[in-house]
Amino acid sequence: MRLYTEMKETVVRRLTTFPKVAMILGSGLGYLTEQFEEPLAIDYREIPGFPTATVEGHSGRLVFGTFQGLPVVAMEGRFHFYEGHRIEDVSSPIYLFKELGVSNLLITNASGGINRSFSPGDIVAVTDIINFGFRNPLRGENDRRYGPRFPDMSEIIDFAWLKVLKSRLEKAKIDLKEGTYCWTLGPSYETPAEIRAFEFFGADLVGMSTVPEVIAARHCGIKLLVLSCVTNMASGILKEKLTHADVVKTANRIRPKFTAVVQHAVESIKETEQ
Ligand SMILES: O=P(O)(O)O[C@@H]1C[C@H](O)[C@@H](CO)O1
């Protein structure tokens, strides 16, 4: 699509190395880019056709650099449908990554825990998704250069990548849970009745992002891993009020653990390629 080529051209003018790995950093998780060597930040407003990030905890920059010895790019802040973006704009960064030659994408988010065995501060590898946002970024004409009209969704993540990550984390004694993420539109948090319904349908986590990005990544064939930070128990479970300030606070509290898990996730890419 012309738009993605234009985005790429603008970005490429500033780059010396093309990224191999891309990351989307969820609410309060943008601090990860502090670990990048030789960082280069490009404001979303400089990229033609790129939406702007409006949510607190999402600073709105693409940060390039080296992380664990690999060339990477991270979105400090993502686009949510509830911000008023068109659904195809929410997923547009994925196609920019594809144009840049990215092979592996790590999507992260903050979420509410529905599964009672989860606690705030847990990190969960998302192994499946439920689209209760009822929007699909592939609606409209299909651009066959990126992928098929009807992409398969039977395995949303790269399980070989997850397997290596799990074995590394086990050795490092870092806990990683697994679960299904359910997307709701937001921006209001869910009601307790909605959470009971999502639980009935098999959801372990609830959040307001990620699913459009996953669909786009599957469409264009980028290897994917999804890590969710449980920032709170979902509505009604603990009888407490939910606030975005608390979401960002918990994401910050687990900074060392989250950073370590992402380091292992990127190291794992090297092992899956051996
Ligand atoms: O971008 P993510 O999914 O990490 O952010 C979550 C969902 C909402 O945007 C916000 C609610 O607190 O955090």
> ∠ CA 49-214-144 to the nearest 5 degrees?
65
pLDDT in tens, 25-45: 998 898 999 999 999 999 999
pLDDT value for 51: 86
> In the annotation, is 244 catalytic?
yes
What single string gives the DSSP state of each residue in 13-26?
Answer: TT-SS--SEEEEE-
3-state class of 92 per DSSP? helix
pLDDT in tens, 128-153: 999 999 999 999 999 999 999 999 99
- Mean pLDDT for 90-110 is 96
Domains, the chain, ordered by start: 2-141+152-272 (3.40.50.1580)
- Mean pLDDT for 229-236 is 97
Average pLDDT value for the chain: 94
> In the annotation, is 82 catalytic?
yes
What distance in angstroms lies between residue 13's CA and the mean position of ligand 1's atoms?
A: 31
Give yes or no for a contact between 89 and 78, defined as CB atoms under 8 angstroms apart.
no
What distance in angstroms lies between residue 109's CA and the mean position of ligand 1's atoms?
A: 7
